[in-house]
Every structure is written in structure tokens, then in C-alpha cells.
Amino acid sequence: FDDPPGLHEKTEFLLREWVNMYHSPAAGRDSTKAFSMFVGQMHQQGILKTDDLITRFFRLSTEMCVDLCYRALNEQTHSPTLIRAKCFHTLDAFVRLISLLVKHSGDSTNSVTKINLLNKVLGIVAGVLLQDHEVRNTEFQQLPYHRIFIMLFIELNAPEQVLDGINFQILTAFCNTFHILRPRKAPGFAYAWLELISHRVFIGRMLAITPQQRGWGMYAQLLIDLIKFLSPFLRNADLTKAAQLLYKGTLRVLLVLLHDFPEFLCDYHYLFCDVIPPNCIQMRNLILSAFPRNMRLPDPFTPNLKVDMLSDITHPPRIVTNFTNMIQPASFKKDLDSYLKSRAPVTFLSDLRSNLQVSNEPGTRYSIPLINALVLYVGTQAITYIHSKGQTPSMSTIAHSSHMDIFQNLAVDLDTEGRYLFLNAIANQLRYPNSHTHYFSCTLLYLFAEANTEAIQEQITRVLLERLIVNRPHPWGLLITFIELIKNPSFNFWNHEFVHCAPEIHKLFESVARSCT
Amino acid sequence: MVNDQFGMVGLLTFIRAAETDPNLVALAPGIDLTTLGLNLNSPENLYSTFQSPWADSPCRPQDIDFHVHSEYLTNIFIREKLAPIKLNRYGEDLLFFLFYMNNGDVLQLAAAVELYNRDWRYHKEDRVWITRAPGMDPSIKTNSYEKGTYYFWDAPSWRKVAKEFLLEYDKLEDRPHLPHTLHHNPNQ
Amino acid sequence: PLNKEHLYHLAMLDSSYHHLPHPSDSERLRHYLPRNPCPTAAYYPQL
């Protein structure tokens, strides 16, 4: 609003001027000669006089670049390659101008002005995108914005001295922008958005080059944004072609992370399990299958594998998320701690189910993050308690404790949906050899053995089986738990009616049993 | 037994539904993740050649922008001074290079056409280029096959290798053709 | 059931599905040897 009279014309003149200078042979190395002349023109036109004018100049320029792209995209006669060449001819010049202004704003040591200008410009481009997305609706096109973001990111991550000191702030600026433009805010930009966050330079910077893994938390947040967008469609299991493509693209990116950065998936699996719908089994298995690269997993099918003798089995996995905070309200957490400590108040157990139910979450009556956090919290407290007695988790040492009271109460008292989610929360801890995998594997088998109804045993079997029948990968902890369940006669597994409820199911068990023996 | 979606019957119902509803497949049995074009056994990291979430092959080397001095880049003005690309002026070695390095691109096809013009033939089954060894007539020749000594282009060792071979004519690719509607490229 | 917002998301996703970004959109313009994607025989080397 209220653009000063003549600013639009001035901006158009300057932008056209810059594009010509950028492409001229006299532009010089990295357009530096053209830039120093052009800054003079910007001064002359008074564009750099105030912060407000600079902001308006960038908004108008962005809108002009975008309009040019829409005109080119609407030229039916041109081939996609020609359209792109026309759009990129202007967009790449505009990106170069932005990156030069960012690099040369303030003196070379003043990183604050540089980062402030970058945040401003990224915010302006994001603002133009969101408005365009809202106005044009299904006519929205991602092309100009995708090009601006990726080429600006690549330019500002070039190995240049002026950038070395501000790499992390540059990364943070882009992550903030991509979070603002997350698929739930701009669904028409979702494909370009996933291209951007999975680009080799972006992944390299976020997960490999930035020291002390400082980019990991931000990257996890972006993946959570993506999974939250896909979640309603995955939960309904009814994926349109468009959603299937985005889902498949997500699996490709997760596979790259599983192969190159398994520790990243190990650290953040807790957060991902909170947002992945329970029926999205393969994606969850993929994340749970990650294990540290320096670890060698024993073959789960090794006959008479002594899990409790493995060196890694006593080490707790790294936890980088504060899952305890998820246990709300504070009064519930207080009663929980009190019960764990002294099995009082006794009402804690009978109130448990209502505390876990929510009404505002579409598609489920329970708070999955709360159930996941509760299970993890009680389990980690139990492991600490068992170790404090100089013992290690086993079918006997985990029994008869306030921790197991809670788990057995949940197994008995919850309805089938609640119990399914509770058992999933336990199965989500069955990963690579570590103390959590060990404890929760024993817990699941203990709940099976001590179950007072066959429904509990059936649901434990269902939770394990559905994770085994999907395509690979399968987490190591899941395999060793299931193998123990079907091989150890004390569980009397094969005599249950649900094992023979249908030919496919019986065949599945037999094929898994065969691969176990 | 549990008679809702949270027991064994629920799982069975979903499995059976997935057998008939293609939209469910992505979730029920899941996808064979080895078919997504990623070499999961690669000793190298995958992200540095990751092409795109929708691409089922990694980047070709020439697709990866590497930061080089701007003088190394072909500036739009230098471009006009460079000789146009004419495959019929290039040696076999370069033609094979263009063929193997440009999968899914018109250059691969153009190189195939030029190799065909030089009496190389692409064996569709063995996926190699083959040509007659000069002066070596086939020892057996019928109207469906012949036997003799031929030159193969051996890509791994990147040289011509002579070999005895039984050549079935129907396994050779016919003359390849460039697409009519070439994506005209203003820069080319 | 999907709510109104989810259905809007799907509609926008479906429309952008028809103009996906191309890998070359993330690469510098190639003035001399630009990509010219075209269908090649399945038996040609793909990698």
C-alpha cells in the first residue's frame, strides 16, 4: 500500500537496467563491475535512502519477476525449456543482485546488517508467494519462487570469505523462511518446498557441514512440517496420485537420510513417531531402522542369540528431545511421579485413561504424543530403577514394580483403540541394540505372558505383525522381539485362535517362523 | 477376537482391501524401497548426488553445480564464439562418452544416431555397441544370424575389444531417430 | 473424514502436481550443453 508515486516506474526501470547489465560482457567477474555501477544508480534514484524504500523496491521487483514468469508460462507456443530460459534470464539476475547487496551491505565484518537484509528479502519473497498463492489459488505456479530460493541459497553458500562467518545465520534464515512456507501454509508450493529442503547443497549444509550438528534440530522441524501435511491423507490411507508422489518423494529423502545420516534419524525418531500416523508403517519402520554407523547389528535370526549379553544393550540411546515436557498437565505429571515413587495416589491408575483422551484431535480419541511420552518416561524411569538395584532388565526384574503397574493397567483398562496406540508406543522403542530396546522388548513379551484376556495378546501380535509384513526395512528390535514370541514355548503363541484366524494370517506367521528358524 | 480395526481382523481386512485398491498399496504392503533409484548399498553418501524427490536416478556428474571461478563458466557471450555441436566431427571415444553420460537426454540419442551412421550397432540384450572388425568376414552367415569376430565397445575399460560372437540380427537395434519435437533450446 | 482445510490442501497439491519442478530448475543455466530431457530406449544405460 501507499507506494510513493513513481516508485513502480523507477523500480521497473532499475530492474530492467540491472538484468541488461548482469548479462552484458562488461559485467565483470561475478557481476561485481556491473554491481558497483548499479548501486550508484540505485542511490541516484533514492532507493537506498530509507529502509521502507528498500523494502518496497524488493517487493515490487519480486512481483515484477513473478509477473514476467506467469506471462512466459502462459505462452502456450513455447517449450518448457524455452519458458524456463526466459524466466531464469531475469530471475538469476535478480538473485545475483540480492546476493551482492547482502554480501556488500555494511562493512565486511558487520554480519548483522547482512543477515538483517537477507531475512528482510526472504520475508518479502515469502510474503509475495503467500499472497500470490492465496489470490491465484489453483492457478498458482511455484517456478519463480523455487528458482529464487534455490539459486539464492546456492549463491550464499559459495565458498567465499565474506560468507564464512555467517553461514549458520544464513542457514537459519532459510530454515525460518521454509518453515513459514511449510506445506500446510502453501500446499501449492509443497513439491518445490520438498525439492528445496532435499537439495544436495541444503542437506549438505544442514546435516554434514555445519559443525556440532547445529542444523539437525532445524532440519527435523522441516521434516515434521512435511509429515504433518501428509498425515491426514496417510491416515486415511487414500492417497491421490499427487499425494502419492509427495509421499514417495518423502520416502526417497528419508532413505537418503537413513543411508547418510542414520544418527540424525536415531536422535529425532521420538519427534517423528509423534506425527507419523499409526498406520503409516513403512515410513515409521524406515526411521526406526536407523542405527549408529559404528554399530554392528548381530543377525536377529542367529539361533539362541543372547540379547542381554550384547555390549551395546546396556547403553541408553541418545535423547535430544525433551519428551518429558509432553506430559501435561503438570498435575498429571506430579501424580505420575508420585505413583512411580510410592504407588500413591491409588486413583492415579483409574484416572489414567481419561488423562490420555483428547477431544480436539481429528481421527483419534487419544493424544498420541502424550501416550508416547508417558510410555517413554515410565520406561526410562523403570530402567534407572532396575539399574539402581544392580540388575538389568529381564522378564523377572521388570515385574512387580510401580512402572509395570502402569503398563499393565494400560493394557487392561484401555479400549481397543487406546490399547493399540499404547502398544504402538512400546513398539516404537524396538530399534537397534540399546537399553530402551531391551527393556521395551521384555515389557511387550511380559504383557503378552501376563495378559488376563486374549484380546491383549491379539493386539500385541497385531502391532508386531503389521510392522513385519510391510516391505523392508524392519527395525532390529522388532525382529528379535517377534522371534522370541513365536519361538519361546512359554508364550504358547501357536495355540491362540487369532494365529489361525485366516489362511493369509497363518501363512504369514509360518513364513516369518520359517525365516526365523 | 477383537472385532474392530485394532485387532487381527482389522489388519486382515486392510490387507485384503489393498489387494484390490491400488491407492492403498503405498501404505499397506508398502513400497519396495530398492526401486526408488537410490543405490542403498553405495559406500559413498547419497545426498551429494541426490537429483530430486521425484527423480528415480541420481544426478549425472554434469548436473552438479560446483563452485568454480566464473571465468570457467561458459558465459552467454562466449557461447556464440564456440563451435556449434556437430557430432559427425567427433571421434568414436567422444561419441561413446556423450552416449553414456547423457542418459535420458537428446544427446544420448544423437550420439546413438551418429554411431549407427558409422556402422556401430546397439545390442539390445547385451546393451553394448558392436561393429564388424575390418577385414574379418563372418565365418557363418544366415538370414537371421551370423558368427564371427567383432569389435565391442567395452565401457568399463573404455576401449574397443575384439571378440568371437554369435550375432542374432533381431537383437540389434534399428536406426535410432531423434524426436521431432526437440525441446528447442535457445542456448543451443 | 478430511476436513475443509485438508480438501483445500489436496486441491492445491493436485494443481501443482501438473507443473512439478524439474531438476534443472535447481541448476545454473547451461549455455553450452543444456539438459534436453527426452525419452530414450529402456535398454540404453540409465545410470
Q: Please state, in angstroms and rounded to a whole number, the distance separating the CA atoms of residues A463 and A430.
A: 12
Q: Is C21 on the interface with B (CB under 8 A)?
A: yes
A37: left (phi over 0), alpha (psi -120 to 50) or beta: alpha
Residue B24 confidence (pLDDT) above 90: no
B127: left (phi over 0), alpha (psi -120 to 50) or beta: left
Residue A467 confidence (pLDDT) above 80: yes
From B74's Cα to the closest Cα of chain C, the distance in A is 6
The contact set of A with C (CB < 8 A) is: 73, 80-81, 84-85, 88-89, 92, 133, 137-143, 146-147, 150-151, 183-184, 187-192, 195, 199, 229, 232-233, 236, 240-243, 245-246, 362
Picking from A81, A195, A504, the nearest residue to B52 by CB comes out as: A195
Q: Tell me the per-residue pLDDT of C1-47, one tens digit each, with 9 for 90 and over.
A: 889 999 999 999 999 999 999 999 999 888 788 888 888 999 998 77
Q: Is A204 on the interface with B (CB under 8 A)?
A: yes
SS3 content of chain C, % helix, strand, coil (to 5): 40, 0, 60
Q: Span A32-45, mean pLDDT?
A: 94
Q: How far is CA A343 from CA A329, A336, A347, A405, A413, in A?
A: 19, 9, 10, 9, 17
Picking from B104, B155, B187, the nearest residue to C46 by CB comes out as: B104
Mutate to test the interface with A, among B20, B23, B33, B182 (most CBs of A within 10 A): B33
* Type of residue found at A396: S
Note the pLDDT of residue A359: 65
Say if residue B41 is exposed, middle or buried (CB neighbours under 10 Å; 0-12, 13-18, 19+).
Answer: exposed
Note the pLDDT of residue A114: 95
Q: Please state, in angstroms and rounded to a whole number, the distance separating the CA atoms of residues B76 and B66.
A: 18
Picking from B16, B26, B185, the nearest residue to A239 by CB comes out as: B26
Under the banding of pLDDT at 50, 70 and 90, the label for residue B187 is very low
From B103's Cα to the closest Cα of chain C, the distance in A is 5
Q: Please state, in angstroms and rounded to a whole number, the distance separating the CA atoms of residues B101 and B60.
A: 7
Note the pLDDT of residue B181: 62
Count of other CB atoms within 10 angstroms of residue A162: 14
Query: What are the backbone dihedrals phi and psi of residue C4, each rounded to the nearest 5 degrees, phi first?
Result: -60, -40
Asked whether the beta carbons of residue A242 and residue C6 sit closer than 8 angstroms, the reply is: no
Cβ A200 vs Cβ B64: under 8 Å: yes
Q: Is B177 on the interface with C (CB under 8 A)?
A: no
3-state secondary structure of B152: strand
Which chain C residues contact residue A81 at CB under 8 A? 34-36
Q: Is C26 on the interface with B (CB under 8 A)?
A: yes
Note the pLDDT of residue B183: 46
The continuous run of DSSP H or E covering A341 comes out as helix A330-342
From A72's Cα to the closest Cα of chain C, the distance in A is 14
Picking from A139, A146, A232, the nearest residue to C2 by CB comes out as: A232
Q: How many residues appear in chain C?
A: 47
Which chain A residues contact residue B40 at CB under 8 A? 255, 259
**How big is the CA angle at A513 (ends A407 and A484), to the nearest 5 degrees?**
35
Query: C7-41 in b/e burial notation, b at 16+ Cβ within 10 A?
Result: eebbebbbbbbebbbbbbbbbebbbebbbbebebe
H-only helix segments in chain B: 8-20, 22-25, 76-81, 92-101, 106-117
For residue A426, what are the contacts with CB-CB under 8 A and spacing of at least 6? Answer: A375, A379, A407, A440, A443, A444
Mutate to test the interface with C, among B49, B60, B69, B107 (most CBs of C within 10 A): B107
Residue B25 confidence (pLDDT) above 90: no
Note the pLDDT of residue B185: 45
Residue A285 confidence (pLDDT) above 60: yes
Picking from C6, C16, C24, the nearest residue to A191 by CB comes out as: C16
* Type of residue found at A280: C
Question: What percentage of chain A has pLDDT greater than the value 70?
Answer: 99
Q: Tell me the per-residue pLDDT of A348-369, one tens digit each, with 9 for 90 and over.
A: 999 999 999 986 776 778 999 9
Note the pLDDT of residue B71: 78
Note the pLDDT of residue B182: 56
Picking from C26, C27, C32, the nearest residue to B82 by CB comes out as: C32
Q: Please state, in angstroms and rounded to a whole number, the distance separating the CA atoms of residues C14 and A401.
A: 53
Asked whether the beta carbons of residue A253 and residue B53 sit closer than 8 angstroms, the reply is: yes
H-only helix segments in A105-215: 111-136, 143-155, 161-164, 167-180, 190-197, 200-203
Cβ A430 vs Cβ A313: under 8 Å: no
Q: Is A366 on the interface with B (CB under 8 A)?
A: no
Q: What cell does A503 get?
A: 489362511
Residues of chain B numbered 117-156 and touching chain C (CB < 8 Å): 122, 124-125, 127, 155
Mean pLDDT of chain A: 94
Q: Tell me the per-residue pLDDT of B126-150, one tens digit each, with 9 for 90 and over.
A: 999 999 998 889 999 999 999 999 9
Asked whether the beta carbons of residue A245 and residue C17 sit closer than 8 angstroms, the reply is: yes
Q: What cell does A91 get?
A: 530471475
Which chain B residues contact residue C21 at CB under 8 A? 52
Under the banding of pLDDT at 50, 70 and 90, the label for residue B186 is very low
Q: Please state, in angstroms and rounded to a whole number, the distance separating the CA atoms of residues A460 and A510.
A: 17
Q: Is B183 on the interface with C (CB under 8 A)?
A: yes
* Type of residue found at A497: E
Asked whether the beta carbons of residue B1 and residue A455 sit closer than 8 angstroms, the reply is: yes
Mutate to test the interface with C, among A22, A79, A81, A252 (most CBs of C within 10 A): A81
Which chain B residues contact residue A416 at CB under 8 A? 2, 4, 6-7
Beta bridge partners of B165: B148
Minimal-distance CA residue of chain C relative to B174: C41
Cβ A63 vs Cβ A11: under 8 Å: no
A288: left (phi over 0), alpha (psi -120 to 50) or beta: alpha
Which chain B residues contact residue C14 at CB under 8 A? none
Picking from C33, C38, C41, the nearest residue to B62 by CB comes out as: C33
From A322's Cα to the closest Cα of chain B, the distance in A is 29
Q: Please state, in angstroms and rounded to a whole number, the distance separating the CA atoms of residues B8 and B164.
A: 60
Mean pLDDT of chain B: 89
Minimal-distance CA residue of chain B relative to A203: B47
Q: Using alpha carbons, select from A350, C43, A263, A41 the residue that is nearest to residue B171.
A: C43
Residue written as grid cell 483422551: A357
Query: What are the backbone dihedrals phi and psi of residue B163, each rounded to the nearest 5 degrees, phi first?
Result: -150, 145
Note the pLDDT of residue A517: 65
Asked whether the beta carbons of residue A237 and residue B48 sit closer than 8 angstroms, the reply is: no
Q: What cell does A196 get?
A: 528445496
- Kind of pairing between the strands at B128-132 and B145-154: antiparallel
Q: Is A75 on the interface with B (CB under 8 A)?
A: no
Asked whether the beta carbons of residue C47 and residue B54 sit closer than 8 angstroms, the reply is: no
For residue A40, what are the contacts with CB-CB under 8 A and spacing of at least 6? Answer: none
H-only helix segments in A214-280: 216-235, 241-260, 262-275
Note the pLDDT of residue B83: 87
Interface contacts B/C by beta carbons within 8 Å = 83
Residue A182 confidence (pLDDT) above 50: yes
* Type of residue found at B183: H
Q: Please state, in angstroms and rounded to a whole number, the distance separating the CA atoms of residues B100 and B85.
A: 17
